[in-house]
Amino acid sequence: MGARGGYAKGRAKRREILDHAIALFGEVGYRAASLREIATRSGISHPGLLHHFPTKEALLLAVLAHRDEVDGELFAGSTGTGALGRLVDLVRLNADRRGVVELFTVLSAEATASDHPAHAFFVERYRRTLAGVERAYLAARDAGALRPDVDPAAAARHLVALMDGLQIQWLLDDRRTDMVDPVRAHIQAQLTVPL
Task: Give the tens place of pLDDT for each residue, 137-173.
Answer: 999 999 999 999 999 999 999 999 999 999 999 999 9
Q: Contact, 64 vs 22, CB < 8 A? A: no
Q: Which long-range contacts (CB under 8 A, 24 or more apart) does 8-15 make?
A: 10/52, 13/42, 13/44, 13/52, 14/52
**pLDDT greater than 60 at residue 115:** yes
Q: What are phi and psi of 124, to 5 degrees?
A: -70, -40
Name the pLDDT band for 26 (thresholds 50, 70, 90).
confident
Q: Which residue(s) pair with 191 in the sheet?
A: 146
- Taking the C-alpha atoms of residue 76 and residue 1, their distance in angstroms, rounded to an integer, is 33
> What was the pLDDT predicted at 68?
80
Q: What proportions of the chain, in percent to the nearest 5, are helix, strand and coil?
A: 75, 0, 25
Domains of the chain: 1-55 (1.10.10.60), 74-195 (1.10.357)
Lowest mean pLDDT among 1-5, 34-38, 163-167: 1-5
- Taking the C-alpha atoms of residue 120 and residue 114, their distance in angstroms, rounded to an integer, is 8
Residue type for position 72: G
